[in-house]
Amino acid sequence: MLKKVLLFAFCVSSSMAMSNLNVAINADKVMRGYKDASSSMKMTLINSSGDTSIRTMKMQILEKPDGDKSLMTFLTPRDVKGTKFLSYEHINKDDDQWLYLPALKRVKRIASRNKSGSFMGSEFSYEDLASFNMKKYNYSGDAKLEKLDGHDVYVGTRTPKSKNSAYSKQISYIDTKSFLVQKVEYYDTKKRLLKVSTFDDYIKIDGVWRVGKISMKNVQNDKGTILVWSDQKIKTGLKDKDFHKRVLKR
Closest CA to 19 of 132, 187, 145: 145
Q: Domain for residue 4, yes or no?
A: no
Query: Would you state the pLDDT for residue 16?
Result: 73
Q: Is residue 144 part of a domain?
A: yes
Cα–Cα distance measured from residue 105 to residue 87, given in angstroms and rounded to the nearest whole number: 19
List, for residues 213-245, the tens digit of each pLDDT value: 999 999 999 999 999 999 999 999 999 999 999
Omega before residue 65 within 30° of 0, cis: no
Confidence (pTM): 0.91
CA distance 170 to 191: 10
Is 11 inside a domain boundary? no
Does residue 55 fall inside a structural domain?
yes
- What's the pLDDT at 244? 96
Q: Is residue 92 part of a domain?
A: yes
pLDDT reported for residue 1:
53
Task: Give the whole-angstrom CA distance, residue 112 versus residue 195.
Answer: 20
CA–CA separation, 51 vs 126, rounded Å?
A: 23
Which ranges of the chain have pLDDT less than 70?
A: 1-15, 131
User: What is the CATH classification number for the domain harbouring 226?
Assistant: 2.50.20.10
Give the per-residue pLDDT at 131. Answer: 61
Number of domains, the chain: 1
Residue 210's domain spans which residues? 18-248
